[in-house]
């Protein structure tokens, strides 16, 4: 399942990046951006300025140790801390390679760094929340998914990015988090998915043949 998710996010990123390389501003970028800028009320902009911090790597990298509160993340802490640091690094390397300017600036904008960092961090939280009880797990995962979307929306309504910048960043960040989940998965280190057979139940008959004297 995680392999399929990783393939999906990588293909999504490659598809959007390829489109940006070929076309620059993608069809629908301008329309969707103007739609969001027009329909977001002015009072909400102050809230989006605060939400914007949830995608700032200068906030998320120092916050990475909070993921270690979850046993799933703590067992392979080096993997998750590496991903939180590496995702913004990937984005900064890719920006000049893609070379697409922001909507209101000549600075490179694809992929969005805030969207990449938020998707990597909160994608890690979605994985780590598997240790929680069902109700708490659903709440944490829903909140994490909402924050990824809100950070992406903030980057658009704050005039920082095209929608495709955000989409590419989310795909890249989730690909990083999914790759880390694959590395951390117990089955990833066992070719057969299990290292030993299940022990027999107490009431099961013995399979050892009787010793004939």
Cα gap 56→16, rounded to integer Å: 22
The answer as to whether 195 is a domain residue is no
The answer as to whether 205 is a domain residue is no
Residue 58: what are its φ and ψ, rounded to 5°? -70, -20
- DSSP-assigned letter for residue 158: T
On whether the CB atoms of residues 162 and 185 are closer than 8 A, the answer is no
The answer as to whether 12 is a domain residue is yes
The answer as to whether 158 is a domain residue is yes
The answer as to whether 203 is a domain residue is no
pLDDT in tens for each of the 213 residues of the chain? 889 999 999 999 999 999 999 999 999 999 999 999 999 888 899 999 999 999 999 999 999 999 999 999 998 999 999 999 999 999 999 999 999 999 999 999 999 999 999 999 999 999 999 989 999 999 999 999 999 999 999 999 999 999 999 999 999 999 999 999 999 876 544 444 443 444 454 454 544 455 454
**Alpha helices, DSSP H, located in 64-203:** 71-75, 77-98, 113-128, 134-157, 163-184
- DSSP-assigned letter for residue 68: G
Domain with 93, as residue range(s), is 2-186
Give the three-class secondary structure for 95: helix
The answer as to whether 70 is a domain residue is yes
On whether the CB atoms of residues 105 and 183 are closer than 8 A, the answer is no
Beta bridge partners of 13: none
On whether the CB atoms of residues 144 and 129 are closer than 8 A, the answer is yes
The answer as to whether 159 is a domain residue is yes
Give the three-class secondary structure for 101: strand
Q: Whose structure tokens read 């760094």?
A: 113
On whether the CB atoms of residues 127 and 181 are closer than 8 A, the answer is yes
The answer as to whether 141 is a domain residue is yes
Beta bridge partners of 108: 101
Number of structural domains found in the chain: 1
On whether the CB atoms of residues 151 and 55 are closer than 8 A, the answer is yes
């Amino acid at each position: 399942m995680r392999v399929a998710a990783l393939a999906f996010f990588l293909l999504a990123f490659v598809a959007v990046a390829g489109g940006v390389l070929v076309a620059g501003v993608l069809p629908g970028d301008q329309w969707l951006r103007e739609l969001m800028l027009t329909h977001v009320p002015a009072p909400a902009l102050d809230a989006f300025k605060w939400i914007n911090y949830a995608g700032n790597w200068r906030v998320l990298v120092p916050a990475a140790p909070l993921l270690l509160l979850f046993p799933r993340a703590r067992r392979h802490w080096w993997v998750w801390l590496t991903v939180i640091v590496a995702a913004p690094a990937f984005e900064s390397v890719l920006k000049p390679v893609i070379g697409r300017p922001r909507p209101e600036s000549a600075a490179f904008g694809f992929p969005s760094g805030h969207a990449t960092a938020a998707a990597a961090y909160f994608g890690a939280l979605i994985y780590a929340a598997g240790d929680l009880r069902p109700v708490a797990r659903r709440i944490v995962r829903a909140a994490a998914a909402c924050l990824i979307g809100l950070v992406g929306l903030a980057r658009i309504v704050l005039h920082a990015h095209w929608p495709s910048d955000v989409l590419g960043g989310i795909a890249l960040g989730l690909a990083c988090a999914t790759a880390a989940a694959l590395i951390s998965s117990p089955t990833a280190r066992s070719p057969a998915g299990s290292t030993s057979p299940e022990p027999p139940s107490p009431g099961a008959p013995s399979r050892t043949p009787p010793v004939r004297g």
